[in-house]
Amino acid sequence: MPEAAFVDIVPGKRDLQWLNVVAVVLFGAGLVAGVVLLVVRGPVDIAFGLIEMLVVTVLCVVVIVVHELTHGLVMLLLGERPRFGFVRMAGSVPAFFATPARPVRFTRGQYLTIALAPLVVVNVVTAGLILVAPVGWWFVLPLALHLSGCVGDLWATRQALAQPAGASFEDLRDGLRVFPPPAGAPGPARDRPC
């Protein structure tokens, strides 16, 4: 039986230019959200020296790692072993990735859960730390950085939502592979939540 037809969707240079603009806007929104959370929290002692700069830098790296680990955890929960790496999108823009170790098709619900889990989980946890940690202000920049870094997941989500009901998705290092629904298959019934 022949393999089903598929379409690979990867961002081109023009897409990446727009994604960079959106990432800057998201970064600004993350900074504003972090400052608003600090105001809601109440008075905070902010001491900013070399040690604090190093800690915030390390926290920014930790947030990126936790983001990819969150994708991987959702894949594990769906029965797939993740692999992690680094890729240059369109040959220029650096990006980290988490993808299944083997080619596997996900339903739309599963794919969206994998794509959006870090946006929800990491941002909620980081925002919570701004509100309750004694040094909550340390997490404002990591929150902004993480929110801007979710731009690729938001792009992938938009692409998946634009596909016909019943389509299945394979996660690629730099995009997604879309398999159309089988001919004659009822679309919405196949597109069940995970």
Residue-range domain boundaries for the chain:
13-41+48-183
State the pTM of this model: 0.87
For residue 65, the model assigns a pLDDT of 95
Judging by beta carbons within 10 Å of its beta carbon (0-12, 13-18, 19+), is residue 64 exposed, middle or buried?
Answer: middle
CA atoms within 13 A on the CB side of 139: 22
**Is residue 40 scored above 60 in pLDDT?**
yes
Of 72-76, 100-104, 117-121, 171-175, least confident by mean pLDDT is 171-175
Task: Give the pLDDT score at 4.
Answer: 62
Give the residue among 116, 106, 89 at the shortest CA–CA distance from 173: 89
* Residue 168: per-residue pLDDT: 95
Query: How confident is residue 1, by pLDDT bands cut at 50, 70 and 90?
Result: very low
